[in-house]
Amino acid sequence: MRAALWYGAKDIRVEDVPRPTPGKGEVLVKVKRCGICGTDLHEYVSGPHVMFVDEPHPLTGFKAPIIMGHEFSGDIVEVGPDIKKWNEGDRVVVMPLMHCGECYYCRRGLEHLCEQFAAVGLQWYWGGFGEYCLVKEYQLNKLPDNMTYEEGACCEPASLGLYGIRRSGLQAGDTVFISGGGPTAVFTLMGCLAAGASKVFMSEIQPGRANKCREFGATEVFNPLECNLEEELLKRTNGVGVDIAFECTGIEAAINDCFKVLRKRGMYVQSGLNVDPVKVNPFDWAYKDLNMVGLWCFNTYDFASTLDLISTGRLPVKKSVTKVIKVEDIVKEGFEVLTADTTGKEMKIQISFE
């Protein structure tokens, strides 16, 4: 089978690898669609960040090279000897997170915080950038009949947005600010609108992405390099500030913008990831008596809820897919295009094995 393997920064190779056979508790999925995630892009540009290179991962036993890809859907083609619930031909979406099931957090239903946390396509050898992917039974979710594989592959990135909204306590009528206009921000926008936010303001410097955010329903999108964001949002919230700010970039300036535009006792949600330290002033949080939430992936509950919202049409995730390519072209037409895209033309690029 053909698969794209991560060997290191700027080193992804499309190779022939043996097709795996499922063992106990495992299922083999024929991948149909798989999206390129921001995490994948970070690993390509400057990894390793979450990849295991020198030592095997303690839960999975794997280290690089790894078949990348964790946003995917497909069909079951083979099941392990003890699998009773699933059958060949079932259409599925894979929840990529893996857990030990025994640690402090797993025993409390917080598997995404597992002390041996792993994910398909990152610390598990098999991933969605291969024609076939070996997964655990507990990672399977039925792809509703009215959903396409394309939509199914959007469930994972959209789940982070929905998890953040649930943690934020957003209520109908709340005003929201979202920093950034990438996939995480767009899926957060869709979720906020579905949850009843009255106004959703966004910031984005790339014109292509800014226009897409407007198309997806943002109240207004500002370029923070061309305006005083704090002044603009205070004007639009009667001088009070927004109820909730979702920071989706991990960039220092954007983080500080969120603190500025929030009202007192507002809610700050950190969705964007950045491994580099940033400079912030804790007085800004204290003076406004802010509530703060950090996000790591999502709870499995949120994955199932996101799938339901997509299937009922309340999350129009299909509009986020701007390009579909073959795995053979994943570096040139996928990673390199996203790396060089300074105008925001592309939003979500998917690999198709259909």
3-state percent breakdown (helix, strand, coil) of the chain, nearest 5:
30, 25, 40
Q: What is the pLDDT of residue 294?
A: 97
Q: Which amino acid is at 42?
A: H
Q: Which amino acid is at 276?
A: D
Q: How far apart are CA 143 and CA 51, in angstroms?
A: 29
Q: What is the pLDDT of residue 274?
A: 83
Q: Which of 199, 197, 190 is nearest to 169 (CA)?
A: 197
Q: Can you tell me which residue has the tokens 């895209």?
A: 341
Q: Can you tell me which residue has the tokens 């991933």?
A: 127
Q: What is the pLDDT of residue 164?
A: 98
Q: What is the pLDDT of residue 273?
A: 87
Q: Can you tell me which residue has the tokens 């031909």?
A: 89
Q: What is the pLDDT of residue 250?
A: 94
Across 178-200, average pLDDT: 98
What domains can be seen in the chain, in order of their start residue? 2-143+316-352 (3.90.180.10), 157-294 (3.40.50.720)
pLDDT tens track for 115-124: 999 999 999 9
Residue pair 233/201 in contact by the 8 Å Cβ criterion: yes
Q: What is the DSSP letter of 19?
A: P
Q: How far apart are CA 342 and CA 209, in angstroms?
A: 10
Percent of the chain with pLDDT over 70: 100
Q: What is the pLDDT of residue 300?
A: 87
Q: How far apart are CA 266 and CA 181, in angstroms?
A: 21
Q: What is the pLDDT of residue 52?
A: 98
Pairing assessment for the beta strands 199-203 and 220-222 based on DSSP bridges:
parallel
First to last CA, the chain: 14
Percent of the chain with pLDDT over 90: 97
SS3 330: helix
Across 181-207, average pLDDT: 98
pLDDT tens track for 262-314: 999 999 999 998 888 999 999 999 999 999 999 999 998 899 999 999 999 99
Cα angle vertex 60, ends 54, 64, to 5°? 35
Residue 220 falls in which region: left (phi positive, over 0), alpha (psi -120 to 50) or beta: beta
Q: How far apart are CA 86 and CA 118, in angstroms?
A: 23
Q: What is the pLDDT of residue 28?
A: 99
Contacts of 62 (CB under 8 A, 6+ apart): 52, 56, 123, 124, 125
**DSSP secondary structure of 120-169:** BTTTBS--TTBSEEEEEGGGEEE--TTS-HHHHTTHHHHHHHHHHHHHHT
Q: What pairs with residue 31 in β-bridges?
A: 74
pLDDT tens track for 132-184: 999 999 999 999 999 999 999 999 999 999 999 999 999 999 999 999 999 99
Residue pair 70/31 in contact by the 8 Å Cβ criterion: no
Q: What is the pLDDT of residue 275?
A: 80
SS3 66: strand
pLDDT grade for 91, boundaries at 50, 70 and 90: very high
H/E stretch holding 191 reads helix 183-195
Q: Which of 103, 134, 122, 98 is nearest to 17 (CA)?
A: 134
Q: How far is CA 75 from the centre of its chain?
A: 22
Q: What is the pLDDT of residue 332?
A: 98
SS3 36: coil
Q: Which of 67, 68, 90 is nearest to 78 (CA)?
A: 90
5 token code pair: 């393997």
Across 42-54, average pLDDT: 96
pLDDT tens track for 223-233: 999 999 999 99
Q: Can you tell me which residue has the tokens 């109240």?
A: 219
